[in-house]
Structure 1
Amino acid sequence: MTSLFDWIRSLDDDGVAAWANKGLVRRGLKVLADGADPQWRIGDGEAGARIEGFTQQIGKLGFEHARCDCPAQVTCHHLCAFLLGLRQHLPDSAAEAAPAPADWLLADSDRLGALLGTAALRKALQWLANDTEAELEHLPGVVTGTLELTEPVIVRLPAVGGLAAALCSCRKPACAHRALVVLQARRESGQPIPPLPPVALDADAADRLGHLRGWMASLVIQGWSGSGQAFLDQGEALAMELKQAQMPRVCAALQQLVGLLRQDSGAAQDALAALWMLLRGLQASPLPRPLRELTGVHRRGYGAVGGLELHCTGVERWSSAGGHHGFSLHFWAPARQDYLVWSEVRQQALAPEWDPDHALMHADLGGLALTSMLAAPCVLASGWVSGNGRLSGRDGTRVHALAGELCLPLIEDLTPLIARMAADLHEDPWRVAAPAAVCIGIARQEALQGDRGGGAWSMAACDAAGNPLRLQGGFDGMDATVHQELHKAQRAGWRMEALFGYLRIERGALSIRPVSVRWSGNPRWRDLSAPWLRADKEKKP
């Protein structure tokens, strides 16, 4: 059995920070560096100290047994200083020649329920059966597991101390996250784990799907016109419950339907059919697709990248029915042959002082001003990109300007893209296809049509190959600004030469949410929802 002092000797700054936080660790180390005399007391299997007038003590292995009589709750910088400083004051006789191996690794398979908790083990086994796994990383003295759920969860399994010294960012003492990482680590090392149950939704997810069925039945019975705002608010709340029940794909499908219902859009029929098919797929036995394809997976974590050339394709100002507003910068990354996006967003009720236009005017990514990105390419010298193409603006991001002109992949013929989108839908009709970012050469455009009674406007256009598409939007929020810009251009007689936006197949036809345009005779792009950004740099056609 690992002794208390062996575990304390194994602690490092990162381990204590995972229990407390980095700020408390820094304060604790500063107390030690400032020459405070903690008055260490080392006994038989216990230790104590007195730091800044408060008493700290520990008598059992594990962070939860560390105590301080200061007013702080659970953790404090005194305990961080105590645990980190105590390492240097343990007697040599307190160390064993070889600390015992971790109990979670060597325990018999049938004892895991007692070690991990029966309910936690059952849920972790179901996660494994459903192909929900943590990403393991083996570091010196510790195994970490990152599980991408609604919020990322991080588990630390130290080599010394066993489960008593394990930590999970959810802060619960015996959780399914910890059990999952233990099962995966055992399986990697060749140790047996209990048999996996059949693939199935857990009880919470099944219950949420039952609520969704009831909500959809009410929608069909009362019809579009009978679905008031309170009913739609209920749908949005249910979507968040579905996300928390680890079904982000179902959540996205419901959010799309609710958004279209708020706009009173005819496309709500297609969205309802797609959601109904997804629900029927989850009810089928056997499942028509792997469970994780039907439920979806939460956004993957960010991976480090460097030396990535970026070309800004457009800037978008937006607001949501849920009270959020912000802006997004869209980039083309030639090396990845894909589009990336960086956004800033705030909840209006929680940050009423934040003005997106002011923030946009002064925005920078990785030290490079947004205005510089609009005129020339740039390079992401160091940064992070998620699996779904989102750029992070976290500390450490570095972006530098490049010489040259913006170069975007203009598509003159949408036929191959249409075929690819149709093939994806045919292969998996249960999927909620995300709109495809695309830059299109426009050969012809028709007059802007507006139906304020229906709450929507549209403009028919086609590419050089004659494929028809329709620009669409509403009269609320930033869509109204886009409509104003297109209307102004129509009155001035400007012709659209190229268009960047997000394309989808809707009711059997192509529709696009326009973000930026390039008018004939003008090499510069214009952002439809933030036209003032480049106005001073442009000459009107």
Structure 2
Amino acid sequence: MSPLVPLYAQIDDAALEAMASKGIVRRARADATNVQFESIGTDEIVGTIEGATVRLDAKGLAKARCTCPAATLCRHKVAVVFALRTQAGEPAAAPAADIDWPARLAAFDRKVLLKAVGKTGLREALRLSALAEATNVDAGPLTLKVVLRLKAEEIEVAIPGQGDFGSVVSSLPERRRPAGHAAAILAARRHFGHDAIELDDTEAASDQVMLAPDPALLGVMQDVVCRAYAQGFAVPSRALEERLMLLAVSSRAEAMPRLSATLRRIAEGLEQRRARNVNHDPVELLRELAFAHALLFAVSQTKDDARLRKLAGTVRAEYEPIGDVELIGLGATMFETITGAVGVTGHFVEPATGRRFTATLARSTTHDTRFDPREAYRTQAVWGHTLARLSSSTFRLAGAQASSSGRLSLSQTSRAEAIQPFKPVRELVATWTQEASLAALAHLSWHGLADHLSRSFAPTLDAPPPSAQPVVLLPSRIAPVAFDDLSQRLRWPLMDAGGAWISLTLDHDDEGRGLGARRIAALEAALGDGGSKRPFAIVAIARLDAGKLVLEPMALWSDSQIALDFPERAAAPGKDVVSRIMAGLRRTVAQFAPPPPADVTVRQTAQLLQGGVDALIGFAEAGLHASTRERLLAPLAKTYQLASLPPLAQLVSRTIASRDSDTSAAALATAQGLFTLQSFTSRLQVWT
């Protein structure tokens, strides 16, 4: 008898239902009598039913092939399994001895799971397990069925009595199986009283002694990224998304976290495009593809280990001890991402060095209703105290640990000591502008601020740009705030001692938690009362927004710190209140501050670069058709040559002249050039 027959005959109904559904299993059982076997060999079993051909091999039912168009486990495959049971004489009806499920689950220890799914997969499994509102574990004669009930879905997984991690089955999409199966195993281990498995991110540094990228893997990734550009814009497919996600969660890719993260974002962007999601941004998808292509090329060509580590990046929350540090709290902000992550971040500065740090309390999904970032800010202990207290105090953090990006570890081994409320004083903050360590934080001159931010956000492939950077502004004059109906954005002009102006902005965003509307309401409450003192300093967050550098107010300093996300008094952002506030803000500020002039040169350059990005997207949407090269790319090359941008003209010309097999790579190199130049032109606007 073929060794494949008992392999498939031992798959019981519980496992089949976990992979498909009860209805498919019931129908397949009735169809099993119609199965005809073309061959039953040692390497492959071939069966036919109703014109469909099913091929089974040693890889298991999840990897079985069928000629029918079903995207998931079809009834033809299940029918062949039932037919093999009959041929084997139904030996799996009852096991000779009961399965020792606690011992079976004990075999899936931390080492085994890490080897099977990697740190990224185990981290996601821990998240899924924590989010499960209820867990059912049902031990059958041959299979342990585990059901995780989350708020948005149910995950049903079958763990057979024998086999390694690959023998675990479910109906999850292929890219979600590793984490989903690991989450079910974690839940089953907990059910049988085993110790919890945890992932300590600080071990990542010791795990990676030498970084030696696999050339074959890099070549596969490069090919998939190029196919994502060539096909993803025109005909996005689930198979391409699955391939990208599998590459992203592979253990070798985990040694290159920046690359792994961008492959995930590409897969998510393709999924949004295929589903016609309103949040899909084709420009951001092209940006991620261009970056991945450039990063893969740089990694494959770099031999220097130090630069390789920079290109690869560090794993999330890789902390190193930095000793005891004296910190000043600059304030705190809430955030909510488009993917559903919510949280609050406290910002701190070490006056001795000027290094800025952050501490974040967050959850990766809004489905965790037990977490409220406002409540966590006021009540959750951080180093023995609340973030509300620490973000407006001076203190010493003993036993501090920080990542290379300045993120502080919330480990209980660190303790906040010698805490004193921080009372901002104009004279004190003014001296910061003269101190070498704090000159990059506090600014009296807007031109100097613009130069500093240009250096901070300058594009480089070796390291990601900072997501945000706090700065302290000391204006000599503050104009009233005004609201623009067209852009739905609040503008707040500030003048420096030299007569130069900049504008802080806040978007009126009432989606989700309505953070934008709340901030505008809090700012109006702080500035609109004629009896309150105007701030002498404003803590703002600088960040890149759609290729432009923007400044958003975070906290106001007068006699005390006023955090816009956590004001002592602010109107709730209800529709009536916000409408009243907006009506009050619709005033002209021209009599107080000159409007920002139209920078014709920057605008023309931005339009030229955006035109190139749009052309490359159109080229991809047309399937890289030859006629589209002449229609979209040829005029672009001439335009860049006439605009004194010869490097871009050469990149576009190379794309036009490339062979079909090299077109995607050449187009992505052109896109990276466009986005890099866009970053260099994203300078803070200063006017007089």
Given the two structures, how large is their TM-score scaled by the length of structure 1? Answer: 0.50
1:377 is paired with a residue whose SS is strand
Match of 2:293 among 268, 274, 279: 279
1:510: which partner in 2? Answer: 549
Does the CA contact (< 8 Å) of 2:538 and 2:555 recur in 1? yes
Distance in 1 (alpha carbons) for counterparts of 2:382 and 2:335? 19
Query: In structure 2, which of residues 550, 559, 569 is the aligned counterpart of residue 523 of structure 1?
Result: 559
Q: Secondary structure at the match of 1:307?
A: strand
Distance 2:459 2:374 in 1: 42
- 1:475 maps to which residue? 510
Residue 348 of structure 2 corresponds to 331
- Cα shift readout 1:207-241 (whole Å, capped 9, x = no counterpart): 4454444445567669xxxx9xx9xx999969965
2:483 is the alignment partner of 1:449: yes
CA apart distance, 1:314:
0.7
Contact 1:281–1:287 under 8 Å retained in 2:
no
Structure 2: how far apart are the matches of 1:278 and 1:204? 14
What secondary structure sits across from 2:481 in the alignment?
Answer: strand
Quick one: structure 1 residues 448 and 490, their matched pair in 2 at CA, closer, same or farther if it must change by over 3 Å?
A: farther
What are the equivalent positions in structure 2 for 1:355-370 lying under 5 Å apart? 355-370=372-387
* In the alignment, structure 1 residue 498 sits paired with structure 2 residue 550: no
Q: Residues 447 and 364 (structure 1 numbering): CA distance in 2 closer, same or farther, change over 3 Å? A: same
1:406 Cα offset (Å): 4.2
Q: Which residue of 1 aligns with 2:602?
A: none
* 2:522 equivalent among 476, 485, 500: 485
- Counterpart Cα distance in 2 of 1:372 and 1:247: 37
Q: Distance in 2 between matches of 1:307 and 1:430?
A: 29
Contact 1:278–1:431 (CA under 8 A) maintained in structure 2: no
CA distance in 2, matches of 1:238, 1:446: 52
2:335 to 295, 303, 318: 318
Q: Distance in 1 between matches of 2:565 and 2:448?
A: 29
Gaps of 5+ in 2: 1-99, 109-198, 433-441, 572-688
Equivalent of 1:418 in 432, 450, 453: 450
Asked if the contact 1:472–1:511 (Cα under 8 Å) also holds between the matched residues in 2, the reply is no
Q: 1:360 and 1:321 mapped to 2: Cα distance?
A: 21
Cα 1:206–1:309 change in 2 (3 A) is same
- Structure 1 CA distance, aligned partners of 2:288 and 2:446? 24
Partner of 2:403: 386
Change (3 A) 1:430 1:318: same
206 and 419 in structure 1: CA distance in 2 versus 1, 3 angstrom threshold:
farther
Tell whether the 8 Å contact from 2:329 to 2:422 is kept in structure 1 after alignment. Answer: no
Alignment counterpart, residue 460 of structure 2, candidates 420, 428, 439: 428
CA contact (8 A) 2:458 2:465 kept: no
Equivalent residues of 2:393, 2:421 under 8 A apart? yes
TM-score normalised to the size of structure 2? 0.41
What is the correspondence of 1:7-86 to structure 2 with a 5 Å cutoff? 71-72=102-103, 73-74=105-106
Structure 1 residue identity aligned to 2:320:
G
- 2:479 maps to 1:440: no
Q: Percent identity?
A: 19
Change (3 A) 1:319 1:263: farther
Please identify, of 404-413 and 377-386, the stretch whose mean Cα deviation from structure 2 is larger.
404-413
Aligned with 2:519: secondary structure?
A: helix
- Cα distance change of structure 1 residues 335 and 360 upon mapping to structure 2, 3 Å threshold: same
Q: 1:321/1:406 Cα in 2 relative to 1: closer, same or farther (>3 Å)?
A: same
Amino acid paired to 1:433: P
What is aligned with 1:14?
Answer: none
- What residue in structure 2 maps to residue 249 of structure 1? 258
Describe the SS at the equivalent of 1:334: coil
* Deviations 1:174-198, CA, capped at 9 Å, x for gaps: xxx5xx75xx7xxxxxxxxxxx9xx
Offset at 1:511?
0.4
Alignment of 1:18-167 (within 5 A): 71-72=102-103, 73-74=105-106, 152-153=203-204
Q: Deviations over 1:105-151 (max 9, x none)?
A: xxxxxxxxxxxxxxxxxxxxxxxxxxxxxxxxxxxxxxxxxxx9988
- Aligned length in residues: 347
Give the whole-Å Cα distance in 2 for the aligned partners of 1:471 and 1:151: 38
Q: Is the 8 A contact 2:394 2:419 kept in 1?
A: yes
Q: Do the aligned residues in 2 keep the contact of 1:438 with 1:503 (CA within 8 Å)? A: yes
Q: Provide Cα deviations, 1:448-488, integer angstroms capped at 9, x if missing partner.
A: 33558x6x524243451525244243333323322332344
Tell me the amino acid that sits aligned with residue 510 of structure 2. Answer: F
Corresponding letter in the other structure for 1:510: L
| Structure-2 separation of matches of 1:503 and 1:236 | 32
One-letter amino acid matched to 1:498: A
Residue type of the alignment partner of 2:491: M
RMSD of aligned C-alpha atoms?
5.0
- Kindly tell me: are residues 394 and 501 of structure 1, through their superposed partners in 2, closer, same or farther at Cα, counting changes over 3 Å? same
Rounded to whole Å, the distance in 2 between the matches of 1:75 and 1:395 is: 31
Aligned amino acid, residue 530 of structure 1: F
Partner of 2:370: 353
Equivalent position amino acid for 1:309 in 2: E
- C-alpha distance in structure 1 between counterparts of 2:473 and 2:334, whole Å: 21
Tell me by how many angstroms 1:411 deviates. Answer: 1.6
Mark the CA change 1:524 to 1:253 in structure 2 (over 3 Å): closer, same or farther.
farther
Q: Displacement, 1:378? A: 1.5
Residue aligning to 1:138 = none
Letter of the 2:567 counterpart:
P
**Higher normalized strand content (fraction of residues):** 1
